[in-house]
Amino acid sequence: MEQFIHPLVLYTACILGAAGICLALPRRAGGPQLIGAFIAAAAGGIAILAMSLKAGPAALPSIYFYIFAAVALGGALRVITHPRPVYAALYFILTIIATAGLFLILSAEFMAFALIIVYAGAILITYLFVIMLAMQAPAEGEVEVLTEYDTKAREPLAATVAGFLLLAVLTTMMFRGTAEIAPVATAAQVDSLLDDLPRKVERVLENHNMLEEGEKLALAAPDGGPAIDGAAGIIWVEGGAEPRIIERADWPEEMSVKNIEGLGFNLLRDHPGTIEIAGVILLMAMLGAVVLSRKQVQMDEEAKMRQARLLSGDTSGEAGA
Amino acid sequence: MGDLNGLLSTVGAGSVDAAGGGAGPWWAVLVPLLPLLSAVLCGVCAAAKVKSKLPAWITVGCLAGSFVTAVMMFMSIQGHGALTTTAFEWINFNWTAPGGEAQSFIANFGLRLDNLTGLWMLFVTGLATLIALYASEYMSHDVGKGYSRFFFAFSLFVFAMACLVMADNLILLYLGWEGVGLCSYLLIGYFYTKPSAVAAAKKAFIVNRIGDLFLALGIMLCYVHFGSVEYAVIFEKTAPYLAMLQEGRIGDIPALVQLIPALLMIGAFGKSAQLPLYVWLPDAMEGPTPVSALIHAATMVTAGVFLIARTYPLFLVSEYALPVVAWIGALTALLAATIGMAQFDIKRIMAYSTVSQLGYMFCGLAVLSATGGVFHVVTHAFFKALLFLCCGAVMHGFAGQLDLRKLSGVMSMKGWGIVGVGMLVGCLNLAGFPFTAGYFSKDMILAESFVTPGMAPIGWILLLTAGLTAYYTFRVFFRVFVGPQHAEPGEEFHAEDPAHGADVAEEEHFAEEARHAHGHSARGHDGHPHGDHAHGNHGHFHPHAPGWAINTVLAILAVGSLLAAGLYFMGDHGGFVGSKLHGTTAEIVTTAEGHTAAAYLGNEPHAGEHSFLGLGDPHKVMYYVSAVVGFIGIAIAAVLHGPKGLGGLMLGSRTEAARSKADNLLPAMGPIAKWAQHKWYVDEFYDLVIYRPLRGISHVFRLIDQFVVDGFVALAGWLPRAIGRSVRPLQNGELHGYAVGMAGGIAVLLLIVLLAVS
Amino acid sequence: MNTMTDLTHLLAQTGFPDSMGSATLAHYLFVSAAMFAIGLIGFVSRRNLIIMFLCTELMFQAAGIALIAFGRFHLDFTGQTFVIFVLTVAAAEAAMALALVVLLFRRKESLDAGEWAELKG
The radius of gyration of chain C's CA atoms, rounded to the nearest angstrom, is 19
Count other Cβ atoms within 10 Å, centred on residue B698: 11
End-to-end CA distance of chain C: 66
Residue A157, chain B, CB below 8 Å: the answer is: no
C47/B736 Cβ within 8 A: yes
What average pLDDT does the structure give for chain B? 79
Cα–Cα distance measured from residue A199 to residue A214, given in angstroms and rounded to the nearest whole number: 17
Global pTM reads 0.61
C114/B728 Cβ within 8 A: no
pLDDT of residue B655: 67
pLDDT, one tens digit per residue, over B193-229 is 888 899 999 999 999 998 999 999 999 999 988 888 8
List chain A residues with CB under 8 Å of B753.
173
Distance from the Cα of A169 to chain B's closest Cα (Å) equals: 6
Residue A89, chain C, CB below 8 Å: the answer is: yes
- Half-sphere exposure of residue B676: CA atoms within 13 angstroms, side-chain side: 21
What average pLDDT does the structure give for chain C? 83
B751/A169 Cβ within 8 A: yes
User: Taking residues A308-313, what's their average pLDDT?
Assistant: 81
Residue B730, chain C, CB below 8 Å: the answer is: yes
3-state per-residue secondary structure call for B96-141: ECCCCCEEEEEEEEEEEECHHHHHHHHHHHHHHHHHHHHHHHHHHH
So what's the ipTM on this one? Answer: 0.89
- B/e letters for B606-636, b = 16+ CB within 10 Å, e = fewer, are beeebebeeeeebbebbbebbbebbbebbeb
Q: Is the pLDDT assigned to residue A265 strictly greater than 50?
A: yes
Residue C17, chain B, CB below 8 Å: the answer is: no
Q: Is the pLDDT assigned to residue B22 strictly greater than 60?
A: yes
Cα–Cα distance measured from residue B350 to residue B368, given in angstroms and rounded to the nearest whole number: 27
CA distances to A194, A205, A238, A247, B418 from A210, in Å = 17, 5, 12, 12, 145
CB pairs under 8 A between A and C: 320
List chain A residues with CB under 8 Å of C108.
none
DSSP B602: T
Instruction: Decide if B449 contacts B462 (C-beta within 8 A).
Output: yes
List chain B residues with CB under 8 Å of C113.
734-736
Q: Looking at this protein, which amino acid is placed at residue B371?
A: T
3-state per-residue secondary structure call for chain A: CCCCCCHHHHHHHHHHHHHHHHHHCCCCCCCCHHHHHHHHHHHHHHHHHHHHHHHCCCCCCCHHHHHHHHHHHHHHHHHHHCCCHHHHHHHHHHHHHHHHHHHHHCCCHHHHHHHHHHHHHHHHHHHHHHHHHHCCCCCCCCCCCCCHHHHCCCCHHHHHHHHHHHHHHHHHHHHHHCCCCCCCCCHHHHHHHHHHCHHHHHHHHHHCCCCCCCCEECCECCCCCECEECCCCEEEEECCCCCEEEEHHHCCHHHCCCHHHHHHHHHHHHCHHHHHHHHHHHHHHHHHHHHHHCCCCCCCHHHHHHHHHHHHCCCHHHHHC
Does residue C17 have a cis bond before it (omega within 30 degrees)? yes
pLDDT of residue B584: 66
Q: Is the pLDDT assigned to residue B512 strictly greater than 80?
A: no
User: Taking residues B130-154, what's their average pLDDT?
Assistant: 86
C121/B735 Cβ within 8 A: no
Q: From the list C44, C54, C68, which residue is nearest A108 (CB)?
A: C68
For chain A, list the contacting chains (3+ Cβ pairs, <8 Å): B, C
C68/A166 Cβ within 8 A: no
C121/B728 Cβ within 8 A: yes
Paired sense of beta strands A234-238 and A244-247, if any? antiparallel
- Measured over all CA atoms, what is the biggest interatomic distance in chain B, rounded to whole angstroms? 126
Q: Is the pLDDT assigned to residue B523 strictly greater than 70?
A: no
CA dihedral sign, ordered B173, B175, B179, B182: positive
Question: How many residues appear in chain B?
Answer: 758
Task: Please give the residue of chain A at the shortest CA–CA distance from B738.
Answer: A159
Instruction: Decide if B198 contacts B192 (C-beta within 8 A).
Output: yes
Residue C40, chain B, CB below 8 Å: the answer is: yes
List chain B residues with CB under 8 Å of C118.
733
pLDDT of residue B495: 42
User: Taking residues A114-131, what's their average pLDDT?
Assistant: 89
Count other Cβ atoms within 10 Å, centred on residue A261: 17
Cα–Cα distance measured from residue B377 to residue B385, given in angstroms and rounded to the nearest whole number: 12
Model confidence at B758, in pLDDT bands (50, 70, 90)?
low
- Half-sphere exposure of residue B173: CA atoms within 13 angstroms, side-chain side: 27
- Half-sphere exposure of residue B91: CA atoms within 13 angstroms, side-chain side: 13
pLDDT, one tens digit per residue, over A212-261 is 878 888 888 888 888 888 878 888 888 777 888 888 888 887 888 888 88
pLDDT, one tens digit per residue, over B172-195 is 999 999 999 999 999 998 888 888
Q: From the list C43, C113, C120, which residue is nearest B731 (CB)?
A: C120
Identify the residue with better confidence: B748 or B101.
Answer: B748
Residue A165, chain B, CB below 8 Å: the answer is: yes
For chain B, list the contacting chains (3+ Cβ pairs, <8 Å): A, C
Cα–Cα distance measured from residue B129 to residue B139, given in angstroms and rounded to the nearest whole number: 15
Of B481-490, B557-566, C87-96, which gets the smallest average pLDDT? B481-490
Cα–Cα distance measured from residue A78 to residue A88, given in angstroms and rounded to the nearest whole number: 7
Chain A interface test: which of B751, B752, B755 (most A C-beta within 10 Å): B751
A166/B746 Cβ within 8 A: yes
Of B49-53, B122-126, C90-94, which gets the smallest average pLDDT? B49-53
Q: From the list A154, A158, A173, which residue is nearest B754 (CB)?
A: A173
pLDDT, one tens digit per residue, over A148-192 is 777 788 778 888 888 888 888 888 888 887 777 776 667 677 788
